[in-house]
Amino acid sequence: MADNLFPVFQMPEIVTPTAAENQKYKQSVHFDFDIGDFVKDGAHKMVAADGREAYLQWCQKIVMTERYDHLAYSADIGTELDDAMREPDTEAVKSAVERTITEALMVNKHTEYVKDFSFTREPDGLRCTFLVKGRNWEEQQLGVTISA
């Protein structure tokens, strides 16, 4: 008969990331926003995006995701561009768009700042461009067209 009623086993060691590992940008799969799908090579395997490209794609996806519309995402993910576009005047719209995009991107610990917003009226809505700076990289200009 066994000495113990309950089995005894060794607990696995939990590996916590070091400070240097927390600083790294993770690779991801390259996404093509024009076709709305992941990029595949000739063998139909998904193409990898390096850490910088993955971060910029994350920024683009976050800006394009409406907050509170997707149950899979927490309230920290996405922007409130629909609400921003309902503001009473043009300056209020611009201010609300700038605020919601900045808040959404600053959730990521790798984002240093978001600035230099510019707006252009287009037939299908409002075009917003801005600069985003990831840690250890130069500024990158991103943009989104917001439907009216």
Which of 51, 86, 80 is closest to 67 using CA atoms? 80
**Domains in the chain, ordered, with CATH?**
25-147 (3.10.450.40)
Instruction: Report the pLDDT value the prediction gives residue 104, as an integer from 0 to 100.
Output: 93
Residues whose CB is less than 8 angstroms from the CB of residue 17 and which lie 6 or more positions away in sequence, other chains included? none
Structure tokens, 7: 């089995």
**How far is residue 84's CA from residue 61's CA, in Å, rounded to a whole number?**
18
The 10s digit of each residue's pLDDT in 114-128 is: 999 999 988 888 999
CB 30 within 8 A of CB 48: yes
User: Residues of the chain with pLDDT > 70: what percent?
Assistant: 91
38-47: b or e for each residue (b if 16 or more CB lie within 10 Å)? eeeeeeeeee
Integer Cα distance of 74 and 65 in angstroms: 12
User: Bridge partners of 131?
Assistant: 115, 141
pLDDT in tens, 4-50: 677 787 877 877 766 555 556 788 888 888 888 889 998 989 998 88
Distance (Å, whole) CA 1 – CA 137: 64
Q: What is the mean pLDDT of the chain?
A: 86
DSSP H or E segment with residue 105: helix 90-105
The predicted pLDDT at position 118 comes to 95
What pTM value is reported for the model? 0.78
**Separation between Cα atoms, residue 134 and residue 123, nearest integer Å:** 32
What tokens appear for 92 in the block?
A: 């209020």
Q: What gap in Å lies between CA 54 and CA 72, rounded to an integer?
A: 20
